[in-house]
Chains A and B, each alone.
Chain A
Amino acid sequence: MKRVTKVSVIRIDIDKYLCKGCYICVDKCPTKVFEVSDIVGDYGVFIPQAKHLDKCIGCEICELYCPDFAITIVRGDGGEV
Chain B
Amino acid sequence: MNPLIQKYLRSEYAQGKRRTIFCPGCGNGIILGYFVRAIDELKHEGRFDDSKLYIVTGIGCSGNIPVPLKYNIVRALHGRALAVATGIKLVRPDAEVVAFVGDGDLLSIGGNHFIHTIRRNAGVKVILVNNMLYGMTGGQVAPTTPMDAITHTTPYGNPEPPIDACRLAMALGATYVARWTVALSRQCIESIKELLLHRGFGLLECLSQCPVYQGRYVIGIDRPSKIMDYHLKITVLGKEPMYGDKITIGKFVDYEKPTYEEIIWSMINRVSKGGES
A positions within 8 Å CB-CB of B:
1-2, 15, 17-18, 20-24, 26-28, 43, 45, 61, 63-72, 80-81
Query: Are B24 and A69 in contact, with the CB atoms below 8 A?
Result: no
- Which residues in B have their C-beta under 8 angstroms from that of A64? 30, 33-34, 37, 185
* Complexed CA–CA distance, A80 and B37 (Å): 19
Question: In the complex, which of the residues A23, A63, A68 contacts B19, with contact meaning CB atoms closer than 8 Å?
Answer: A68
* Complexed CA–CA distance, A35 and B172 (Å): 49
* Complexed CA–CA distance, A51 and B20 (Å): 27
Interface centre among A26, A68, A71 (most CB of B within 10 A): A68
Q: Name A's interface SS.
A: loop
* Contacts of B1-40 to chain A: CB distance below 8 A: 1-3, 5-6, 16, 19-20, 22-30, 33-34, 37
Question: In the complex, which of the residues B16, B25, B45, B226 contacts A67, with contact meaning CB atoms closer than 8 Å?
Answer: B25
Q: Name B's interface SS.
A: helix
Question: In the complex, which of the residues B23, B30, B223 contacts A27, with contact meaning CB atoms closer than 8 Å?
Answer: B223
* Complexed CA–CA distance, A64 and B184 (Å): 10
Query: Are B33 and A72 in contact, with the CB atoms below 8 A?
Result: no
Query: Are B30 and A67 in contact, with the CB atoms below 8 A?
Result: yes
**With contact pairs A63-B2, A66-B33 given, residues A24 and B224 touching in the complex (Cβ less than 8 Å):** yes
B189 to chain A, nearest CB (A): 9
- Which residues in B have their C-beta under 8 angstroms from that of A15? 1, 16
Interface CB pairs A-B, < 8 A, 12: A1-B41, A1-B45, A17-B16, A17-B19, A27-B226, A28-B225, A28-B228, A43-B24, A64-B37, A69-B6, A70-B2, A72-B2
B44 proximal to A (CB < 8 A) = yes
